[in-house]
Amino acid sequence: MKHLPHKTIERLSQYRRALLICAAKGKAHIFSHEIAKIQHITPVQVRRDIMLIGYTGTLRKGYNVQELIDLIGDIIDTKEGLNVAIVGIGNLGRAMINYFNGKRTKLSIVAAFDSNPDKVERAFSGVKCYHIDQMGEIIKNENISIGIITVPAGAAPEITEKLVNSGIKGILNFTPKPVNVPSRIYLEEYDMITSLEKIAFFVKTHA
């Protein structure tokens, strides 16, 4: 399972979210074309992804919703869960904590870091903010393996280096500044402006 394509992992996470909603509505089985419709992709893509994780449904009933949720959980989650830290507790950092905590049982934001003394030693939606200089110690003590960067773009390279030196294993960079990491670190970068400009391009070409 280690070699699943990145895009498949992304889609499995999306399938699980859709499946959890179906399960909450009491739906026990689902066909690939139903998942495809929710995700706006083709049933072939859904079947290919689910085959890759070694699961098959039946022709008559489709996939068992709970079995598929559990299997995706076995692949994506770790048993004990993973701890996450957020660096830069400004507008976006606070929004991330509010949005995220309580929604994912296997991922928790357990610490925040900031350089502003007014924010240090305060709790934001239950998450304690530490001074950036305490990063190494807290990341080790709290067993944090993922870092989210929400500082101003100019500080992103310095913060990335600090996270890497503190022993972090994965980084989500929300700043518009691309950063470099050693190959052992998994990096995702999300730039809202790029997404918006992509939409603008397609809106223009379809006008």
Asked whether the beta carbons of 109 and 101 are under 8 A apart, the reply is yes
Contact residue for ligand NAD among 72, 97, 151, 171 (CB under 6 A): 151
Residue 167's Cα: distance from chain center in Å?
Answer: 19
**Residue appearing with tokens 């925040």:** 112
State the minimum distance, in angstroms, from the CB of residue 135 to ligand NAD.
9
Q: What residue is closest to ligand NAD based on CB?
A: 90
Give the CB-side neighbour count of residue 74, counting CA atoms within 13 A: 9
Contact residue for ligand NAD among 69, 114, 138, 148 (CB under 6 A): 114
**Distance between CA atoms of 3 and 52, rounded to whole angstroms?**
10
Q: Between residues 87 and 139, which has the closer beta carbon with respect to ligand NAD?
A: 87
Q: Which of residues 58-97 bind ligand NAD (CB under 6 A)?
A: 87-93
Residue 35's Cα: distance from chain center in Å?
Answer: 20
Q: Residue 98, interface with ligand NAD (CB under 6 A)?
A: no
Q: Which stretch binds ligand NAD (CB under 6 A): 18-26, 37-45, 50-58, 144-152?
A: 144-152
Q: Residue 152, interface with ligand NAD (CB under 6 A)?
A: yes
State the minimum distance, in angstroms, from the CB of residue 67 to ligand NAD.
37
Q: Which stretch binds ligand NAD (CB under 6 A): 7-15, 24-32, 77-85, 111-119?
A: 111-119
Residue 64's Cα: distance from chain center in Å?
Answer: 25
Asked whether the beta carbons of 23 and 66 are under 8 A apart, the reply is yes
**Distance between CA atoms of 16 and 178, rounded to whole angstroms?**
30
Amino acid at 134: Q
Q: Residue 112, interface with ligand NAD (CB under 6 A)?
A: no
Residues that bind ligand NAD (CB under 6 A): 87-93, 113-116, 119, 132, 150-153, 155, 159, 174-176, 192
